[in-house]
């Protein structure tokens, strides 16, 4: 269920997660974004563990949960603007491309740590100066690292109809976990080879 947009932006993480509840299905309760609920619960547990002055391993588990929860709105923002920048979604203006690039830069280091090849593909597709954006390639590349990021499809949700043409709604391939099409799979393969080639070239240059 969606909710009213918050009136203040004093906590950008909290605001951003709540803002995305109007763009993605099934990612909010009646009171808050699910990512914020999970985040605040982990903060409370971490606070109590810290006050006790022990159980550092348990605190590290909560830190992992916090990092995962703060990643969710960044992923959602990137995916939303990947669609809006794609010709299918309107081929976005410079505003949409800039917002997509900003969200991408926010979470790209985490994606790269999980899978440099996936990060390279996403970067090429979402770069502000990219000739075009293939949103399905971005979606599938992002999904490939969800497990590593400590999140899954239920955390991200599916793009809402308000961001899609009213006559047809959002395409099936904007749904999390949608089976990749042949064309997208081919492009992902090409991107993977290109990323591996770039990495090899860097290693050779440093030798």
Render 64-81 in DSSP notation, one character per residue.
Answer: HHHHHHHHHHHHHHHHHH
Contact (Cβ atoms closer than 8 angstroms) between residue 106 and residue 79: no
For a pLDDT cut of 70, what percent of the chain falls above it? 60
In tens, the pLDDT along 122-163 reads 999 989 888 888 889 998 999 999 999 998 888 888 887 777
In tens, the pLDDT along 70-106 reads 788 889 889 988 888 887 766 667 888 898 899 999 8
Residue 30 in this model has a pLDDT that exceeds 60: no
CA distance 57 to 205: 40
Cβ atoms < 10 Å from Cβ of 129: 6
Model pLDDT, residue 205 = 45
5-9, 54-58, 178-182: segment of lowest average pLDDT = 5-9
Helix (H, G, I), strand (E, B) or coil at 10: coil
CA distance 83 to 76: 11
Model pLDDT, residue 3 = 45
């Amino acid at each position: 269920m969606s909710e009213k947009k918050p009136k203040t932006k004093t906590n950008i993480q909290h605001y951003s997660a709540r803002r995305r509840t109007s763009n993605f299905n099934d990612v909010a309760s009646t009171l808050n974004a699910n990512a914020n609920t999970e985040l605040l619960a982990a903060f409370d547990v971490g606070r109590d563990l810290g006050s006790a002055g022990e159980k550092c391993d348990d605190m590290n588990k909560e830190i992992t949960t916090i990092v995962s929860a703060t990643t969710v709105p960044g992923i959602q923002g990137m995916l939303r603007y990947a669609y809006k920048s794609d010709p299918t979604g309107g081929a976005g203006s410079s505003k949409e491309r800039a917002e997509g690039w900003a969200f991408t830069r926010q979470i790209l280091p985490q994606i790269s740590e999980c899978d440099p090849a996936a990060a390279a593909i996403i970067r090429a597709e979402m770069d502000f100066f990219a000739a075009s954006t293939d949103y399905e390639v971005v979606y599938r590349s992002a999904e490939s690292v969800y497990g590593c990021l400590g999140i899954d499809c239920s955390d991200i949700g599916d793009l809402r109809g308000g961001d899609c043409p009213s006559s047809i709604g959002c395409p099936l391939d904007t749904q999390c976990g949608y089976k990749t099409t042949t064309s997208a799979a081919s492009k992902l393969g090409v991107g993977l080879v290109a990323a591996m080639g770039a990495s090899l070239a860097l290693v050779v240059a440093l030798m």
